[in-house]
Structure 1
Amino acid sequence: MSEISATHLVPSRAIADRSARTRLAYLDGWRGLSIALVLIGHFFPIPGINLGVLGVEFFFVLSGRLMAEILFIERYPLKKFFKRRFSRIYPALLVFVVLAMIALSATFIAFKWKAAVTALTFTYNYAGILLNRAGALDHIWSLCIEEHAYIILAAISAIVASRSRVIPLLLVLAALAMANGALSYWFLHMDYETTYWRTDVHIASILLSAAICLLKADGKLPSLLTGPYVAVAAAAGAVFLFMDAVPTPIHYLVAVPLLAIAVNALDFSTRFLSGWLSSLPMTTLGLWSYSLYLWQQPFYKFVYEQGSNPWPMLVGVFACALCSYYLIERPAREWLNRNW
């Protein structure tokens, strides 16, 4: 009797490992869905909704959840955390910026070394607003916000020891950032980029998702948000609220919180949803997502501003991204993680 009870109460290592793999698989699938939305929005836009912008929000809320798990739940050593972030992000970014600067030098989206420096120092989101923009690098604003969020969340994890204090702090900071965005857009009449490219505004997506993740980990998430259909319902509501007809600040005041709920509610979702996100096509897209995101921008500019046929441009995106992933991103990450 005790052996049977123990078997039921304490899962075997194989079951635990399988559970972890499934969890990682559907989060990879969420990442795959994110990049799919970006690619559809950029190369095959659907009237009435900017799927490219929506896809970025899918990325942001996933980052918030993952950073909360790594920094506040697992308590990953900060030195190792930043090494892993560097090995994951920087080699592929460096190669992209250098090759793009060379390859695009004779095109309408050529950019100079100053723009390259702002991309490589993760200051482009502010430099693009205050100084000058480079169309081939315009997507780097979102990467800048992610990197800034890593630093801010790491600092909070180092300074604030009690998780009971971390959660309200994250919620307050997220609320302030959201209010900052609404104030900038509605009352100061700033345009979209001047408002929502800024870390002091857009970090709300990441912080809010991190806070919800910690509430879930502490068992404090309302039962209403743990149902099997919450993830689908919340994501669907967010998509609806991202329609062009909805005022832009509402996207970030209401739709983004729904996405933050959705990505954290995946743990309770139906087998159909988790199975679909865990499918090979979705997880493969997720693995390639960073390189795809880097390389889609120049090709997108040719489609959007020059009217180029989107299909060969999309083929070019995948060709460059797969070379980036298999020749740069993955080998560099593995080598640095092993030797640094």
Structure 2
Amino acid sequence: MSVVDWIAADWGTSHLRVWGFADETVVHAAQSEQGMGVLSRGQFEDALLTLTEDWLPEGRITPVVACGMVGSLQGWVEAPYRAVPCPPAGGGLVIAPARDLRLQVAVVPGLKQARPADVMRGEETQVAGFMARNPGWDGVICLPGTHSKWVHVSAGEVVSFQTFMTGEMFALLSRHSVLRHSVSGWEQAGFIQGLDQGMERPEWLMSRLFSIRAEGLLQGSDPAMARARLSGLLIGAELAAAKPYWLGQPVAVIGADELAQSYQEALERLSVPVTTHDATAMTLAGLSLARGHLPEGNPSCVN
């Protein structure tokens, strides 16, 4: 097997993804469902070793740089939030306790904002990766997902950010609410219809949502149209609320292909200059940047 110089880890609530690097080239990759949500503090090291044991050479320490919920209060070790405004990466890495002497695991801290109160873990690494690849870029970074983030960056710093529970609301409504009987599949025309309605009259969101169910009962509406419309309504309402972020700003969307494309299409309808970028690529670029802050020894915190 190829010799691994260091390991990057994206450790969320539900999944763990790891990449083994030879310098800056990925030579191994693996993933599991051993996310923070199913692990106790003493189980994190074993979950990591299950995926990477064969990558670790004997007789030397292999650095592991990890971001995400692994640094939460319920994670392997708490990596305290850094307050904005600040660079998205740079210092504050916390070393997780490891029994295996071949490992040195450094956890990237998240970011916090006092007013309005907000936090992020994991997204700061994607922001750092984007900024490393686009030096001098000022504007707004949109990170769609379970909890969408809108991040204003300027002069190399995260100035402010705002979170929307759009993805989680879509999952709850489409799977666990009365709307679950009316939505399935995807029809793009429904997304555009919902997007326009959500943007134009966000105060009508709660009523528009129930109309999806009523139209299914009374008019036999297409479930694929209905599901796409549900997504459009929620994203439209998010965009209406996030207008202070995207108005007059270039926007970079970082996310998975289909969801990122939905946000790009929505922003283009508003004539916002927008580009889309792969989330995994930005995560790895950010973790590579964080690697530059690793210590030579093994302190508990890296400043």
Which TM-score tier does this pair reach, normalised by the shorter chain?
under 0.3
TM-score by length of 2: 0.25
Q: Which structure dedicates a bigger proportion of its chain to helix?
A: 1
TM-score by length of 1: 0.23
Q: Which structure dedicates a bigger proportion of its chain to strand?
A: 2
